[in-house]
Amino acid sequence: MECFTIRMLEESARGACPKCGDPAAGPNGLALFADDDDEPICRACGKKMAPSMVALLDLARTAERVGKSYRHLLTPPMELLLDLASAAENYSRSAPKLRAT
C-alpha cells in the first residue's frame, strides 16, 4: 500500500506528475506527494489513489485562504464560510473510518 504525504512546496511545481506524466504546473504551497517521489502528484491521480488526502488538502487550502484573506474581520464572508464547511464535509465523508477496539 502506497503512502502519501502533504508537504509544503517552496517554489511552483514545473515538472510532471510522477504517476501519469501530465504536466504538474501549480502554485507553491501545499501539495500531495507519494512517499517515493520528490515531485507532487496531480489532482486526478490523487483523487484515484488517495481521495481522503485530496479532501484533506482541499480543506487545508480553503482554511488557509480564508485565514489569510479575512484575518482582519471578526467574521469572514458567508460565501467563504460555506466553502470551508463544504470542504470539511467532503473530508469527513472521504476520511477513513476508525475502527473501535
Among 32, 42, 50, 87, binds Zn ion (CB under 5 A): 42
Instruction: Please state, as a whole number, how many other Cβ atoms lie within 10 Å of the Cβ of residue 27.
Output: 10
- 55 is a contact residue toward Zn ion (CB under 5 A): no
Residue 19 interacting with Zn ion (CB under 5 A): yes
Judged by beta carbon, residue 2 or residue 89, the one nearer Zn ion is 2
Nearer to Zn ion, 22 or 89 (CB): 22
- Return d(Cα 64, Cα 53) in angstroms, integer: 16
**Residue 17 binds to Zn ion (criterion: CB under 5 A):** yes
Q: Which three cell numbers stand for residue 37?
A: 517521489
Q: Strands 4-9 and 29-34, how do they pair?
A: antiparallel
d(CA 31, CA 54): 9
Contact between 13 and Zn ion (CB under 5 A)? no
| Binding status of residue 45 toward Zn ion by CB under 5 A | yes
Distance CA(22)–CA(32), nearest Å, equals 15
Q: State the minimum distance, in angstroms, from the CB of residue 91 to Zn ion.
A: 21
